[in-house]
Amino acid sequence: MEFLITSTLNGVIYGMLLFMVSAGLTLIFGMMGVLNFAHASFYMLGAYFAYTLSSIFNFWIGLLVAPLIVGIIGILVERYLLRRVHSYGHAHELLLTFGLAFIFEELVKLFYGDYPVNYRMPDDLNFAAFNIFGTDYPFYRVFIGGVALAMFISLLLMLNKTRVGIVVRGAERLPQIAQALGHNVPLVFMGVFGAGAALAGLGGAVAGAFYPTNPNMALELGVIVFVVVVVGGLGSLTGSLLASLMIGLFSSFAVGLDWSLAGAFDWVGLGDWARSVGGLLTMSISSISGAMPFLLMLIVLLVRPAGLMGSKN
């Protein structure tokens, strides 16, 4: 029971964090058709900027200002780099963001070193939210989940209830028509790109204080975020949320389970044979939990490439 509840809580909160980063990515893909390899780098930059700002001023200023800086970087990337190569096609845009991800990682290594930096939450957030089965549950995890939830709700409200949201959705669905109706579609693209980057930066600023802040964080999270976006359906916000929660829950449960395929074979009396074969059959779920998201992504890509909620194919 304890395992069930803590794993669920941890899974949901990790899922919310994944959603914070993947929301921008899925919006950008839905609109511009660009799979942004540098997106997770924005998450990393958010964490590092927040670290610097919080050591100069305080944690809250870091949390507020870092996403803004990251958003501005996103806008500059879109305006001066992506737009330049737009005419060469999507593959080229993808390659450019791929190179940028490379540069961001190396710049972080240059300025902050190869090892994790000491980015911590402030002491007044470092307390137990509640006590569960005799162990304290950190408030900060709840805080991460809360920030993500607030972001999801405001994003949804903005997209569905405001004029800006209508223009954005229009530009996503039918860019030419939106242009013809007098909306500045390139400006919308730039704004969405910047906003997506800022959201990822916010995710980094919030999560970096809890999880380690190191130069590998972009690469580690980056592939998982791709999985989320693909499974949820490229371009679908609700799909991303579902997929994030799924993967969050899955990875938090898998760590505690030592089931293996050989165990499954026991049901049909082939368990001993499977154990004698070894290899894939005897690996426990906990040891291959890292591989599961990719398996899921493969299955989705092959069976239903539009993802859970995606409509475009």
Partner 1 sequence: MRYKLPLIALLLIALVAVPPLFGGGVQYALVNALIASLFAAAFNLLMGQGGMLSFGHAAYFGIGAFAVLHLMQAVEYGYMGVPTVLLPLAGGLAGLIGGLFAGYFATMRAGVYFSLVTLALAELLFSLAPHWEGIFGGEAGLSSMRMPWLGFNFGTTLEVYYLTLVWVVLCLAVLYAYTLTPFGRLTQALRDNSQRIRYMGYNAHTTKVVVFAISTTFAGIAGGLMAMSNETANYSIFSTHISAEVVLYTFVGGSTVFFGPIIGASIFTLFGFVVSGATNAWLLYQGLIFVLVMLFAPKGIGGLIQAHIDQRHRLPWARLPLPYAVLAGGGVFMSLAVVFFIQSFEHVLSNRYQAVVARTGEWPDYHLFGASWDPLSPVTWLVPLILFVPGVIIVRKAAARIHEMWEGQGADVEKSEAAPATSGGH
- Contact positions vs partner 1 (CB under 8 A): 33, 35, 81, 84-85, 88, 90-92, 94-96, 98-100, 102-103, 106-107, 109-111, 113, 219, 223, 226-227, 230, 278-280, 283, 287-288, 290-291, 294-295, 297-298, 301-302, 305
**In the complex, least distance from residue 163 CB atom to partner 1, rounded to whole angstroms:** 31
**In the complex, least distance from residue 101 CB atom to partner 1, rounded to whole angstroms:** 8
**In the complex, least distance from residue 47 CB atom to partner 1, rounded to whole angstroms:** 18
**In the complex, least distance from residue 168 CB atom to partner 1, rounded to whole angstroms:** 22
Beta strands 135-138; 128-132: pairing state? antiparallel
Give residue 267's identity as a one-letter amino acid code.
Answer: W
Distances (CA, A) of 1 to 7, 113, 165: 10, 42, 43
User: What is the number of helices (H) and of strands (E) in the chain?
Assistant: 14, 2
Distances (CA, A) of 128 to 132, 138, 198, 208: 10, 4, 29, 19
CB nearer to partner 1: pick between 90 and 161: 90
d(CA 202, CA 151): 10
CB nearer to partner 1: pick between 159 and 223: 223
CB nearer to partner 1: pick between 206 and 297: 297
Q: What is the dihedral of CA 3, 4, 8, 14, to 10 degrees?
A: 30
113: left (phi over 0), alpha (psi -120 to 50) or beta: left
CB nearer to partner 1: pick between 104 and 265: 104
**In the complex, least distance from residue 255 CB atom to partner 1, rounded to whole angstroms:** 14
CB nearer to partner 1: pick between 37 and 152: 37
